[in-house]
Structure 1
Amino acid sequence: MQLSIFSVQEPVACKKPLDQGTFMAAAQFVMALNFAAEFELLSLSALNIQTGMAKKGGLVFVRNGKLKMHPGIYDHLALVSISSICAGSIYIHGRDEIAAEILNLPYSEGILNLAGAEEDYMAFKRLCSPVSRFFLLHTKKVQWSAILSVFRFLMMDGIWDVVNFVAGKLHCSDADVLACTQLLESMQEQEWYPVFHQSLRDFYASRYPLSKDGLVSELPEMA
């Protein structure tokens, strides 16, 4: 067994099921930490992905209204939105299968597990539209750039362990909704947090500032 650099401990056993929706919400929170300077993260609850359920759950946050909307912020919002679906896909198919799939072009939406998350996917596509218009790129190009970026982030060494940690906190909490400040404080108490924080910085630097050249070079076949 290969130990993660984070050495995140397994959460204690709880009666509530640690289901797909819990991992999807946890991934939204972990992804949003990349953009903590732009968003005020308020609360987190497990996503209810059952069809027809009114109570959706997930990450609740507000954007810093002092910041002007630009392609980068639309991209940040898109990444947070699609991160739940990417995490659900990893939960269903496993990291090895997803890692193999994203190496092969052309990409297919079949690797995305959209069951119960169709609304999130539509929101993601709407957020990608301003980016594609700004850079004069095909919408699918921008969408797949974001999807692959999220998959690669979740597969960075130790990141999925952090998603597991957050999911475990949701899983074991007596409350259905957790304050994001409480979650972050718990994370900052862990020995692995400085390494995780550096991973966030590395991921951000690898994608931003967003540019047409960067998007085109990533997926030249779809330019």
Structure 2
Amino acid sequence: MFCGLDFYFCYGRSIRPEPNKLNFLQLSIFSIQEPVSSNKILDRGTFMAAAQFVTALNFADEFELLSLSAMNTQPGNVKKGGLVFVRNGKLKMHPEIYDHLALISISSICAGSIYFHGRDKIEEEIINLPYSDGLLNLKGAEEDYMAFKRLCSPVSRFFLLQAKKVQWSAILSTFRFFMMEGIWDVVNFVAQALHEADADVLACAQLLENMQKEKWYPGFYQSLQNFRASRYPLSKAGLASELPETF
């Protein structure tokens, strides 16, 4: 069963029958209890959801990706949509898992910022973060940003770092992921698939199967491997290096 709470951990069962009937720890990023009505506009919310899915593919060995729907960024709307996925509840939670979740979480906001400002401006201004005022577009995603910061807390405590250092390391890393050659093209591909689909909610397995048929997929898969190798294993020095000591 699913919990309908954003960023809450709850124990339940996988929606697919499992032979050993293991309990699953379910994390639903912007989780939904029923399909979100889509106006079929290729808007910011569609790109935000697509970005979550593409980012989560970096960690496909840790999570089971279930469904994807366009996000509703209108304030006060409880049916946000986005990516829904699960993780085996018997597996240990450790700092890198929280970091994975934080990157998936902030990816939607980073993608919304790219959609709003344009990829070229983000690429030019990223070196000025976090000092470039207004570059991170939080419109309609303020609660999501607070949830992202909560996911960063276990990482900052583990490495005895200021929370802001861990948060901005995740934000910059996610922006750099989208700046990698071909990655934003894949986000566009997924967004277009959401836009053209007859259903409001897509099965992630079917979406991934369609992606694997594309000629660009081997290069995309290699980019995922390169990104993971560039960020992990996490280290205190690596996380702290993004911001000056005075920040």
TM-score normalised by L of structure 2: 0.81
What is the percentage of aligned positions where both structures have the same residue?
A: 79
What is the distance in 2 between the residues matched to 1:109 and 1:221? 20
Give the match's secondary structure for 2:227.
helix
Within the alignment, does 1:148 sit opposite 2:152 as a pair? Answer: no
Within the alignment, does 1:216 sit opposite 2:240 as a pair? Answer: yes
With over 3 angstroms needed to count, the CA separation of the structure-2 counterparts of 1:222 and 1:56, relative to structure 1, is: farther
Deviations 1:109-164 (A, max 9, x none): 62111111112111100000111111111100000000000000011000000000
Structure 1: 5+ residue runs without aligned partners?
1-14
Match of 2:194 among 157, 170, 175: 170
Aligned counterpart, 1:133: 157
Within the alignment, does 1:48 sit opposite 2:48 as a pair? Answer: no
Give the match's secondary structure for 2:214.
coil
Aligned counterpart, 1:12: none
What is the distance in 1 between the residues matched to 2:52 and 2:139? 17
Deviations 1:151-182 (A, max 9, x none): 00011000000000000000000100000001
What is the distance in 1 between the residues matched to 2:174 and 2:246? 18
Match of 1:86 among 110, 121, 143: 110
What is the distance in 1 between the residues matched to 2:41 and 2:240? 42
The residue correspondences of 1:104-119 to structure 2 (distance < 5 A) are 104=128, 106-108=130-132, 110-119=134-143
| Count, aligned residues | 209
What is the distance in 1 between the residues matched to 2:130 and 2:110? 18
The residue correspondences of 1:23-38 to structure 2 (distance < 5 A) are 23-38=47-62
CA displacement at 1:53 relative to structure 2: 1.4
Contact 2:102 2:151 in 1 (8 A): yes
Contact 1:38 1:67 in 2 (8 A): no
Contact 2:130 2:168 in 1 (8 A): no
What is the distance in 1 between the residues matched to 2:143 and 2:70? 16
Contact 1:141 1:222 in 2 (8 A): no
With over 3 angstroms needed to count, the CA separation of the structure-2 counterparts of 1:154 and 1:219, relative to structure 1, is: same
What is the distance in 2 between the residues matched to 1:147 and 1:109? 14
1:211 is matched by which residue type in structure 2?
S
With over 3 angstroms needed to count, the CA separation of the structure-2 counterparts of 1:51 and 1:207, relative to structure 1, is: same
